[in-house]
Structure formats: structure tokens, C-alpha cells
Amino acid sequence: MAKQDEMKVIDLNGVRVVVTGASRGLGLAMAEALLESGATVALAARSGARLDREVQRLVDEEYDAYKMPLDVRSEESVAEAVSWVHKQWGGLDVLVNNAGIGMRTVNPRFMVEPQSFWQVTSDGFRDVIDTNLTGYFLVSRGFAPMMVEQGKGKIINVSMNHSTMRRKGFVPYGPSRAGAESLSYIMAEDLLPHGVTVNMLLPGGATETGMIPEELKTQLKMPLLKAEVMAEPIVFLASEQSDGITAERIVATEFEGWYASRLD
């Protein structure tokens, strides 16, 4: 069987995964793809009816899914999540950092009426940075010692296009994602001697995830990507086929070409 064919039938049975921001959007799509490939997945998100509903649906479909109430901005909440994994699973194979909030939290009309950085409130700036950047740091810091002790593990940090980091009116979302990419590269270096890899995964364009208000979608000049674009690359990155790959920035819409280039 060709290597590209092998990639399409990846079996993640026995692989333990935590996905943050998993009650909707990219996080839910990635959690479902991992579950469909046989992984055991804790869907981590803030407590609420949405998380309850999605986890129950997946359990009813006989997937090995678990509910993990988590506020990535809270050290106490992260510590509780780490403790749960220790007690229930005894270790963690894959951490997917995805939880985030978008520009609509500081400017609901950000796509058509960009707001200059000096018009952004300090509270709005802090909220996005605390979730999208500090949240990645806190969750990674919480689970990294477990992986270091194991001598193996994979961390995948969800990011966004570089154009988003430079676009007019995209403070603080752009800086939050740029900071998360720098964090990812440094994490990869720090964890390299311990057998733990760190990679970045991004959709490759604006996605149908709820971050763009419904009333603005008709005004967009480009089609929105489906969240499922993340499915194939996240399954690959969670599998043994990605062993040894670290500090890579993988664009989901370009995944097949990226993968093929590694076979040359």
C-alpha cells in the first residue's frame, strides 16, 4: 500500500487526546475526526449546555468521548484538568490547543468596519490575549511535565494565516496568534530533548466557526472553509506517522501537498 493510502486509514486506538475549545467550530471538528479514527478524546471547554449536548451526542454514537469543563485562562481550572487526566488515564498522548475568542468580542463589525488599535479597550485586548495566548501557555505548562515524564507526547497549537496577523483592524486577535506561534517554536525547542513534539496547524482561510457574525457573512468576498478541513491533518499529527516531526507550521488546505513533499 502506498504511503498516501496508509495515511487515509490511520488507527488511533489507545491514543489519549485533550482538545480545548471543543464544544464548537474547529475544536469540535477535530475532536470528532480523532474519535472517528479510534482515539479517546476529552472535549475541553467552558461548562454549559453546548458542551454537555455535544459530548452526550458523541457518547450516544458510541465514541470514547469525555466531558472536561475547562477555562483555559484559569490556573486552577487547568490544574483540575491535569489532575483528571492523571487519575482517569494515567497519561496524555496528544494535547490540541484550540480554545480562542475572535475579533467579534472587541468589534462585532470587524470585517466591514475595522477599528484602529487605539480604539480597542484595554479590557478587550486583555480578554483576547488571555484566552488565545496565555491560555495556550497555561494549558501547555500544565500538561507538559506529564509528557516529559513519559518521554513522549505531541502538542498541536491551532493558529491562523500570517495575513491575519498583519491585517488592518485586527488588534488584538492578530497579535494573540502571532504570539502563540512564537510560543510554539520555543516550546518545540524546549521539549525537543524530552521526546515531545510541538507543531502548529491552521485552516488556511476564514472558517465557518461562529467567529464571524451571521449578518456579515453575506458581505464577505471569499467563501468560508468548513471546519472539517482540519480533520485529516489533525489525525495525522496525532498518529505515530508524525513521530519526530516538530516545529512545523501546517496549513490544512495545503496538507496533501505538504505531506507529499515529505515523501519525495
Catalytic residues, by residue number, are 173
Task: Cell numbers for 223, please give them.
Answer: 467563501
Residue 228 in contact with residue 29, Cβ under 8 Å? yes
Q: What's 151's DSSP letter?
A: T
- 20: which 3 cell numbers? 480545548
Question: Which residue do the cell numbers 478587550 mark?
Answer: 124
User: Residue 249 and residue 228: Cα distance in Å, rounded?
Assistant: 18
As given in the structure block, the three cell numbers for residue 187 are: 516550546
> CA-based angle 164:158:86, to the nearest 5?
155
